[in-house]
Amino acid sequence: MGAVAAKYDELKKMNVEVIAVSTDTHFTHWMWKKTSPTMKNVKFPLCGDPSGAVSRAYGVWNPKTGLNRRGRFIINPKGTIMAVEVLTDPVGRNVNELIRQIKAMQAVAKHPGKAAPAGWEPGDKLIGTGKDYIGKY
Amino acid sequence: MGLKKFIVFFLTGLLFTTIASAQVLGACGDTGKKPQPVKKAVQPVPMPQPANEMAVKPIPLPGQQAIDFELPAVVGNQIKTVKLSDYAGKWRVLCFFPAAFTFV
C-alpha cells in the first residue's frame, strides 16, 4: 500500500484511481491508517468487505481462509476489465509494472490498430498489427 | 497430608453416590411402568451447504464488464461509501488484499 501511495501522484496524473478492498471492516482500515506510518499517506479508498460478497463476485475470496487473495484488476474508463493478476499470498505486487501496463493500455487506446509488444516501456514505439505485419516481429 | 486425605474422601464419596443413584434408578425401572423408549441420540447438525450467495464466482477476465459494487471505505480522513461507478471515466485499479496490517 505504501508503494502504491508513493506513486499515487503519478497515477493521478495518468487519470487512474486506486480502490483497495479487503475482507476486514473499514473500521479496521481506519485504525490501520492511524497506526501505520506507511498507511498515513494513503489517499485512495480502503474498502471493507467483511461479508466477502464483492470479493466473491470477483472470484478472489478464499473460502479456506475467509480472506481475499491478492487479486488486481485494471478497469478502463468504460468499465471493461483490461488485466487480471492474482498472486500467491506471501508475494507483494509491483506498482511499476502496474504503471507500465496502464501506460501501454492507454497508448494502445489512443492508437487503435497498434499494439504494445512484449517488454514495451513507456516511450517505446507501438507496432502495427494486421496481415502486413505477419512474421515481422 | 490434608489435601491427600480430602481427595481420598472425596473420591470415596463420589463412588458411593454413584452406586446409590444407580440403585435408585434401577428401582425405578421395577415399578411396572412401561419402559420409555430410549430417545434417539441427537444427531449433530450437518454443516449447512454453502448457499448460492456464498459461492465464489469465476474470476472475471479481460473484455468483461467490471461488476459495480458499493462498500464502506476509509478515504483520506473520512469514512464514506464508495462505488466503483463513482470513478467512471477514469482508469481504475481494483486491488483485493487479505487484511489490514499486511502488505499489499
B53 contacts in chain A (CB < 8 Å): 53, 56
Mean pLDDT (whole number) for A23-50 = 92
- Which residues 12-71 of B have a C-beta within 8 angstroms of A? 50, 53-69, 71
**Residue A83 and residue A62 share a domain:** yes
| Confidence grade of residue B51 (pLDDT, cut at 50, 70, 90) | low
Inform me whether the C-beta atom of residue B101 falls under 8 Å from chain A C-beta atoms. Answer: yes
All three cell numbers of A19: 480502490
Q: Are residues A4 and A62 in the same domain?
A: yes
Average the pLDDT over B13-22 and give the result. 60
pLDDT digits (tens, 9 = 90+) for B28-48: 555 566 777 777 777 778 776
Q: Which three cell numbers stand for residue A58?
A: 470477483
Q: How many CB atoms lie within 10 A of CB A75?
A: 24
**Residue located via cell numbers 477476465:** B61
**Number of structural domains in chain A:** 2
Using the CB atoms, write b or e for B31-66: b if 16+ within 10 Å: eeeeeeeeeeeeeeeeeeeeeeeeebeeebeeeeeb
pLDDT at B13 (0 to 100): 65
pLDDT band for position A38 (cuts 50, 70, 90) = confident
List C-alpha distances in Å: A117 to A14, A106, A128. 21, 14, 10
Average confidence (pLDDT) over B72-83: 95
Task: Indicate whether A100 and A87 sit together in one domain.
Answer: no
Q: Residue B104: which pLDDT band, with cuts at 50, 70 and 90? A: low
CA–CA separation, B101 vs B54, rounded Å?
Answer: 26
User: How much is the average pLDDT of B75-104?
Assistant: 91
- Cα separation of A22 and A42, whole Å? 15
In whole angstroms, give the CA distance from residue A134 to residue A118.
16
Q: What whole-number distance in Å separates Cα of residue A51 and Cα of residue B5?
A: 57
Calculate how close chain B gets to A135, using CA atoms only, in Å. 26
| Statement to judge: residues A66 and A99 lie in one domain | no
Per-residue pLDDT band for B10 (boundaries 50, 70, 90) equals low
* Residue A70 C-beta-side C-alpha neighbours within 13 Å: 13
- Among B14, B104, B75, which Cα is nearest to A7's? B104
Between the CA of residue B54 and those of A56, B41, B61, B102, what are the distances in Å? 8, 31, 21, 25
Residues A74 and A17 in one domain: yes
Owning domain of residue A36: 1-93
**Average per-residue pLDDT for chain A:** 92
Measured between beta carbons, the chain A residues lying within 8 angstroms of B99 are 22-24, 28, 67-68
What was the pLDDT predicted at B71? 97
Verify that A10 and A61 share a domain, yes or no: yes
Indicate yes or no: CB of A98 within 8 angstroms of CB of B57: no
Task: List, for residues A54-112, the tens digit of each pLDDT value.
Answer: 999 999 999 999 999 999 999 999 999 999 999 988 888 899 999 999 999 999 999 99
Higher-confidence residue: A135 or B23? A135
A86 and A107 housed in the same domain: no
Task: Give the CATH number for residue A47.
Answer: 3.40.30.10
Shared domain check, A86 and A103: no
Residues A60 and A114 in one domain: no
DSSP B59: P
**Number of other residues whose CB lies within 10 A of the CB of residue A119:** 7
Q: Are B74 and A43 in contact (CB under 8 A)?
A: no
ipTM of the shown complex: 0.93
Same domain, A16 and A74: yes
pLDDT at B25 over 60: no
Are residues A118 and A130 both part of a single domain? yes
Q: Which residues of chain A form beta strands (DSSP E)?
A: 16-22, 46-48, 61-62, 67-68, 70-75, 81-87, 114-115, 127-128
Same domain, A39 and A86: yes
